[in-house]
Amino acid sequence: MRAAADAGLSFNEFCVRRLRAPSDAPAMLVVRSLVISHARAVCGDRLTGVLVLGSWARGEAAASSDIDVLLVVDATSPLTRDLYRAWDAGAVVFDGRAVDAHFTHPSAAGAVPTALWCEAAVDGIVWYDRDGALTHRLGEVRRAIAEGRVVRAFAHGQPYWKGVA
């Protein structure tokens, strides 16, 4: 219930949104396979995780919405424009929607999570997790949110996340 409150939603609305999120229907298996295959081609052994997030994962995508994916690469790999160019060279499109990749390093265990990792923990759907570390860290972030150690707030109508001492 805390995650719902932190997201500024009633528990019922939070549940409805989570249930409306895309499922592993046959079409989902296709896009997931396309994304993971392309991510492996771009990142090689550096790829540690893939998750889908944003409006599409929440089941709130408009007709013009893209599909946002978070590609997690090992912490020793530089995050350069070359990764994005390589992704864009083999652009993945599913059901008329562009798949927009965001590259990141793993969130450090025990550290206060960034806004990106908080959003991933609330709305993200893990598609690939090489060694279980991504799923484990997302669980840690969810617990931090549920325990009130990280909260979602709003400034000028825009959400942000902050650690609570």
Second CATH level (architecture) for the domain 2-151: 2-Layer Sandwich (3.30)
Of the CA atoms within 13 Å of residue 137, those in its CB half-sphere come to 27
pLDDT band, residue 109 (cuts 50/70/90): confident
- Identify the residue with better confidence: 1 or 31: 31
pLDDT for 31-70, tens place per residue?
A: 899 999 999 999 999 999 999 999 888 888 888 889 999 9
Domain ranges of the chain: 2-151
Tell me how far apart the alpha carbons of residues 142 and 26 are, in angstroms, rounded to a whole number: 28
pLDDT for 118-129, tens place per residue?
A: 999 999 999 999
Tell me how far apart the alpha carbons of residues 150 and 7 are, in angstroms, rounded to a whole number: 11
Tell me how far apart the alpha carbons of residues 19 and 108 are, in angstroms, rounded to a whole number: 29
pLDDT band, residue 13 (cuts 50/70/90): low
**Is the per-residue pLDDT at 27 higher than 90?**
no
